Structure 1
Amino acid sequence: MLSSNSHIFSRLFRSESLYFVLAFALRAFLSFVGLGDRLENRVEIATPFNSWKRVKEGVALKNAGISPYEGDTVHCNPILLLFFETLTRRGIVITQVVFFMADLLAAHFLAKAVVAFHREELAKEKEAKSSYAKDVEPLLLEGSDSRRIGRIVLITYLFNPLAVLSSVAMTLTTFGNFNIILALFLSISGSKKLCFVVLAFATVTDVYPAVFIVPMLVSMYTEGMLAVALSGLTYIFSTIAFIYFSYIAASDWSFLSNTFGSLFMLSDLTPNIGLFWYYFAETFEHYRLFFLCIFHLSFLTYALPISFCLRDDRFTACFFMLFVIALFKSYPSVCDAAVYSSLLPAFSHLFYYVRYGLPVTCTIVTCSVLSSIMWHLWIEQGSANANFFFAVTLAYAVAQIFLMTGLFYAYVRRRFHLKHGMKMLIDGEEAIPILD
Structure 2
Amino acid sequence: MAQLETAALALTLLTRVAIPQLSPSLTEYLENESVLFSTLITSYKSLNEGIFFFKNNLNIYDGGVVHTPPLLIYIIGEFFQGLEIVLWPFIDVIICFTLINISKKFPEKKLKPWVIGFIYALNPIGIMENISKSWLIFHSLFTVILFHCSLNKQWLAMGFFLSLCSYLHYQSLVLIIPIIKISNTINFAKTLFVFFVTSTVLYLASYKLSNNSNLFINSTYLTSFYFAKISPNLGLWWYFFIEMFEFFIPFYTQIFNLLQIVFIIPLSLRLPFQFSFLLSVAIIKFGNNFAELTDLILISGLFLTQSYIFGHLKLAYLGVLLLIMAVILAPIFYHLWINLGSGNSNFFYAITLLYNLGLAISLVDYIWAVLQWEFKLDTKNKNVNKIGLF
TM-score by length of 2: 0.92
For 1:114, give the aligned amino acid: S
The structure 1 residue matched to 2:243, chosen from 276, 282, 291, is 282
The structural deviation recorded for 1:183 is: 1.0
Q: 1:89-144, CA deviations, whole angstroms, 9 ceiling, x for partnerless residues? A: 4x2xx22201111110111112112212x04xxxxxxxxxxxxxxxxxxxxx37xx
**Separation in 2, partners of 1:155, 1:229:** 38
For 1:325, give the aligned amino acid: I
The structure 1 residue matched to 2:178, chosen from 215, 227, 231, is 215
Could you tell me the percent identity over the aligned residues?
A: 21
- Paired residues of 2:177 and 2:268 also in contact (CA < 8 A): yes
1:15/1:416 Cα in 2 relative to 1: closer, same or farther (>3 Å)? Answer: closer
More off after superposition, 19-28 vs 273-282: 19-28
1:69 to 2:30 alignment: no
Find the counterpart in structure 2 of residue 108 from structure 1: 97
Find the counterpart in structure 2 of residue 27 from structure 1: 16
Find the counterpart in structure 2 of residue 304 from structure 1: 265
The structural deviation recorded for 1:215 is: 0.3
Find the counterpart in structure 1 of residue 4 from structure 2: 15
1:185/1:418 Cα in 2 relative to 1: closer, same or farther (>3 Å)? Answer: closer
- Paired residues of 2:322 and 2:357 also in contact (CA < 8 A): no
- Paired residues of 1:166 and 1:173 also in contact (CA < 8 A): no
List runs of 5+ in structure 2 lacking aligned partners: 384-390
Find runs of 4+ consecutive structure 1 residues off by over 3 angstroms. Answer: none
Superposed, 1:14-413 pairs within 5 Å as: 14-32=3-21, 33-34=23-24, 35-40=26-31, 41-87=33-79, 89=81, 91=82, 94-116=83-105, 118-119=106-107, 141=108, 149-220=112-183, 223=184, 225-251=185-211, 252-310=213-271, 313-413=272-372
- Paired residues of 1:163 and 1:174 also in contact (CA < 8 A): no
- Paired residues of 2:70 and 2:209 also in contact (CA < 8 A): yes
CA RMSD of aligned residues (A): 2.0
- Tell me the secondary structure at the aligned position of residue 42 of structure 2: coil
Higher CA-based Rg: 1
More off after superposition, 173-182 vs 245-254: 245-254
1:348/1:194 Cα in 2 relative to 1: closer, same or farther (>3 Å)? Answer: closer
- Tell me the secondary structure at the aligned position of residue 306 of structure 2: helix
- Paired residues of 1:87 and 1:95 also in contact (CA < 8 A): no
The structural deviation recorded for 1:421 is: 5.7
- Paired residues of 2:102 and 2:305 also in contact (CA < 8 A): no
1:19/1:351 Cα in 2 relative to 1: closer, same or farther (>3 Å)? Answer: closer
**Separation in 1, partners of 2:156, 2:120:** 26
List runs of 5+ in structure 1 lacking aligned partners: 1-10, 120-140, 425-436
Q: 1:184-221, CA deviations, whole angstroms, 9 ceiling, x for partnerless residues? A: 1111123221121111011012212212111011222x
Find the counterpart in structure 2 of residue 5 from structure 1: none
The structural deviation recorded for 1:16 is: 2.3
